[in-house]
Structure 1
Amino acid sequence: MHHGTVDGFGYGLVTPLAAYVMACLGGALGLRCTSRALLAAHSWRPGWLALGSAAIGSGIWTTHFVAMIGFTVHGAPIHYDARTTFASLALAIVMVGVGVFIVGYQGATGSALFTGGTVTGLGVASMHYLGMAGMQLDGTFQYDTLTVAASVVIAVAAATAALWAAGQVRGFLWSVGASLVMGLAVSGMHYTGMAALTVHLHGTPSASAPGQSPASLLVPLLIGPLVFLVLAGAVILLDPLMVAGRRHWTPVEHKPGVPAPEPATASVSRPLAAARPSPARPAVRSR
C-alpha cells in the first residue's frame, strides 16, 4: 500500500473561486427565502421554507463537487457512484430543511438557533463526507480526527450565524452580506475536511492509468442543481417583496390593537385584511 499524491487545486484558483460563488449563491437564495417566510402568511410559509432549504442544500452540494473538479490523486483514476452522490444531495436538503423549518416557525430565538444551527451544520458536514464516500478509486481514505472535528465545528458555527442573520428579517443587502460569510464558511469547511484526508493506494501509482477527467465526470451531475438554483433565483426576483427590507413591508403577526399599514402586494394584504378588525361604528342613541 502506498500513499497517493493528492492535488486539490488541479485548476489553480478557478475551482475554489467557483465553489465559493456557488456557496454564496445558494446561501443568498436560501437565506432570503427564510427571511421571506418569517413575514409570510402561514399558508405560504412552508413553501418559502422548502424553497430556501432546497436552495441552501443545492448550493452546498454544488460547492462541494465544483471544488472536487480540481481534486486528483496522481496515478489513480477517480469515479463517482451516482447513488451515493445524489444521496448526499438529498441528505443536505433534508437536514438543512430541518434547521430552516425550526427557525422559520420558532423565530431566531436562542434555543431555535442552537438546535437549527446544529442540525444544519451537521447536514453540511454529513453531505461532505457522504459525497466523499461516493468516490471510487483503487485505494482507501483515512481522515485525521481532529481536523474532521474542526470542519464540523466550522459548519455548525457557519449555519448558526447564517440562520441568525436570516431571522433578523432585514434588507436585501443584509442577506447578501450574510451569504458572503456563509459562502466563506462552507468553502472553509470543505477544504478543512479535505486537509484531513490521506489516500492510501492499493497498487503502485501509474502515470498512464486510464480514466476520465474529474470535470467530465462531475459536470453532468451538476447540471440539475445548477438549473434549480437559476429557477429559484427567478422565483425570488419575481416576488415584489424579496428585495425590500423590514421597513418596506409588514409582518403578518402584528401587535393586536395596532393598525397595520397597507401592504405593498395582494399576497400579503389578503391575510392582513382578513385579520384586521372592522372599525367600530358609533352607537346611535335612540330617542
Structure 2
Amino acid sequence: MADINHFEYGWITPALSYALSVLGSILGLVCATRIRAASSTGQKVWWGTLAAWAIGGTAIWTMHFMAMLGFAVSGSRIRYDVPITVASALLAVLAVGIGLAIVGTGRLSAVRIVAGGLFTGSGVAAMHYSGMAAMRLDGDLSYDNLRVGLSVLIAVVAATVALWLAVTVRRGLAILGSALVMGVAVNGMHFTGMSALSVHLHEERGEIVGAGVGTLLIPIVLLVIFGVVGLVYALLAAPTDEDRAAAAYLDARQTPTAAGPPDVTAPDPVGLRARSTLARPGAQFPSRRDHPPR
C-alpha cells in the first residue's frame, strides 16, 4: 500500500480550497436572493443558473480540484482524464441547479428542502467520486465503505442546509455567515471522502496517460476568474429593489393625470345670465332714474 499525502504543499491548498468554497457560496446565495425577487420565469431561470454555477462550479467543484493539488501518492505520478473531469464539473452544477429548482418552485416546505437536499447531496457525492475516478496513476484505488457512507451523509446534510439557506437568507451578514458554514461543510465532505482512499501500487510501472495538474490548472484558474467576474458584473448590473422603486416613482411623476372636461360657457345673446344674476336675493335692481331718457 502506497503512502498518501493530502497536504503536500502544507496549508496553502486547503486554505485556497476553503476560500473558493466561501466565495462561491457568497455569490450563489446572493444570486438565490434574486430568484425570489424575480418577477418572470425567464429571470428566475437566469438567476437560478447563475446560482447553480456559483455554488456547484466554484464552491464545490473548483474547491475539489484545488484540494486535489495537494494530493500526492509516493512512488507514482498523477494524471487526470479530461472528459471525466469535465463531466464531474457539469454534474456538480446540474445537481445544484435541480436542487434549487426543487426548493424554488411552488410553496416552500420541509419536504421540498429535504428532497432537494437528497438529490443535490447525492449529485455532489457523485461529482467527488467521479473526479477521483478521473485520476490516472500506477496503482489501484480502493475505498473504506464506512467513510464513503459518512462522506455521502455529510454531502446530503450540507446540501440540505445550503438549499435552506439559499431560500431563507437575505441580509449581508447572514449571507457571509452562511457562506462560512457552507465552506466548512463542503471541505469536510471532501476530506472525509479522501480519507477513505487507499492506493495499491502496481509492481510493473507503465506509461500514465492523461493531463497533468499544471495542464489543467491554467484553464481552471482562468475559468474561475472569468466566472467570478461575470457573476459579480451580473449582480452589479441587475436593478435592485431601490432602483425599481425609483423607476416606478419617476414613471408616476411623468404620467399625466386625467383632466376633467373643460368649462364651456354657453352663449348668452339676450342677457339671460345677467337677468338671473339680478334676480338673486339681495340683488340691486336699477331704478327708473338710472335709465337714460329716451
Q: Secondary structure at the match of 2:105?
A: helix
Change (3 A) 1:137 1:5: same
Deviations 1:208-259 (A, max 9, x none): x999996524312413431212321232234353xxxxxxx5xxxxxxxxxx
Contact 1:71 1:214 (8 Å CA) reproduced: no
2:214 aligns to what?
A: 216
Instruction: Using the aligned pairs only, state the percent identity.
Output: 42
Letter matched to residue 203 of structure 1: E
Moved more, 42-51 or 86-95: 42-51
Q: Which runs of 5+ in 1 are unaligned?
A: 242-248, 250-263, 274-287
1:177 aligns with 2:155: no
Moved more, 213-222 or 143-152: 213-222
The 5 A counterparts of 1:46-195 are 46-59=45-58, 60-195=60-195
Distance 1:229 1:20 in 2: 16
Q: Secondary structure at the match of 1:265?
A: helix
1:265 aligns with 2:264: no
| Alpha-carbon distance, 1:36 to partner | 1.5
Distance 1:238 1:128 in 2: 34
Letter matched to residue 243 of structure 2: T
Higher RCO structure (Cα 8 Å, ≥6 apart): 1
Structure number with larger C-alpha Rg: 2
Deviations 1:113-147 (A, max 9, x none): 00111111112111111101110011111011110
Distance 1:30 1:101 in 2: 14
1:17 aligns with 2:18: no
Contact 1:77 1:211 (8 Å CA) reproduced: no
Distance 1:202 1:268 in 2: 69
Distance 1:195 1:228 in 2: 30
Q: Scaled by the length of structure 1, what TM-score is found?
A: 0.79
2:223 aligns to what?
A: 225
The total of aligned residue pairs comes to 246
Q: Which runs of 5+ in 2 are unaligned?
A: 252-294
| Alpha-carbon distance, 1:166 to partner | 1.7
| Alpha-carbon distance, 1:50 to partner | 0.8
| Alpha-carbon distance, 1:158 to partner | 1.0
Deviations 1:12-45 (A, max 9, x none): 0100010001111111111221122012112311
| Alpha-carbon distance, 1:193 to partner | 0.3
Contact 1:58 1:93 (8 Å CA) reproduced: yes
Change (3 A) 1:75 1:239: same
Distance 1:180 1:93 in 2: 20
Change (3 A) 1:189 1:169: closer
Distance 2:228 2:123 in 1: 19
Deviations 1:67-98 (A, max 9, x none): 01111111101101110000000111111110
Distance 1:161 1:97 in 2: 15
Letter matched to residue 216 of structure 1: G
